[in-house]
Amino acid sequence: MKIDKNFFIGNLKTLFYALVIAISIRSLLLQPFYIPSSSMEPTLLIGDRLFVTKYSYGYSKHSFPFSPPIFKGRLYSITPKTGDVVVFKTPSDNRTDYIKRLIGLPGDIIQFIDGNLYINNNQIFKSRTSMSDIIYCGKKTINVNTYIEKLPNGKVHRSVYLKNYGFKNSDLFIIPDKHYFFLGDNRDCSKDSRYLSSVGYVHEDNLVGKAQFIFFSSDFRIASIFSFWKWPETIRTNRFFKKIN
């Protein structure tokens, strides 16, 4: 059987162009992410799939697959806003993707006093909305108080604190130039900028993009993905196309 050389080359070209288009979209426009942990509950749940816009803060080497060192710094840099939910590469390895809420900008001073968050010596207003919520912390469930917090720029979001014990007091965190400070909304179950040895201050070059909306969500802790008869219980249709606040 004779192989049509032109047909073979044509298919290779088609695959190459498709790959280039896919990488371009992923690097410059939108990238899907999966939420594997509970550190951003109740805003983001384990099993949420969401889209992150790569152009929101400009581009760095981390905008591209495998973070190739093709240039230094950020191109078309845009300063993120306090309260944004951001995907970034952890400073400890410059490889692992984390998603947290941006709390502090360069030059800001962050501190926890008696369980209350202070930014630049001003206590962040929070109003309790529930004293009986149960959420995940890893594989365990925890009892939490749920609050609405209002950041200095007017951004409002939900956060939760352990009911019987919480992160009470901290040292002063003075954010260096070109760095940012992030917290998880699940305050007592989040490895974030409070832990300088593992996350700490995040350099602007490590920002990957801004989380925009959830396009799919499922909880396969309830049942295996192969148990299709239980999909009505595991697939969270009420979270489809939900904007991330």
Strands 85-89 and 97-104: antiparallel
Per-residue pLDDT at 75: 95
Pick the catalytic residue from 54, 61, 100, 210: 100
Measure the CA–CA gap between 112 and 197, rounded to whole angstroms. 18
Strands 156-162 and 140-150: antiparallel
Measure the CA–CA gap between 200 and 183, rounded to whole angstroms. 10
Per-residue pLDDT at 165: 75
Q: Does residue 39 carry a catalytic annotation? A: yes
Question: In the chain, helix, strand, coil percent, each to 5?
Answer: 15, 40, 45
Measure the CA–CA gap between 244 and 44, rounded to whole angstroms. 8
Q: Is 36 exposed, middle or buried (0-12, 13-18, 19+ CB in 10 A)?
A: exposed
Per-residue pLDDT at 224: 65
Prediction pTM value: 0.91
Write the CB contacts of 236 (distance below 8 Å, at least 6 apart in sequence).
45, 47, 217, 218, 219
Distance of CA 115 to the CA centre of its chain: 23
CATH classification for the domain delimited by 5-243, as one of 3.40.50.720, 3.40.50.1980, 1.10.3720.10, 2.10.109.10? 2.10.109.10
CB 193 within 8 A of CB 91: no
Q: Does residue 100 carry a catalytic annotation? A: yes
Pick the catalytic residue from 39, 190, 193, 218: 39
Give me the DSSP letters along 5-33.
HHHHHHHHHHHHHHHHHHHHHHHHTEEEE
Per-residue pLDDT at 225: 62
- Please list the pLDDT of the chain residue by residue as tens digits (245 residues): 455 667 667 777 778 878 888 778 888 899 999 999 999 999 999 999 999 999 999 999 999 998 999 999 999 999 999 999 999 999 999 999 999 999 999 999 999 999 999 999 999 999 999 998 999 998 899 999 999 999 999 999 999 999 877 788 999 999 999 999 999 999 999 999 999 988 999 999 999 999 999 999 998 777 666 676 677 788 999 999 999 99
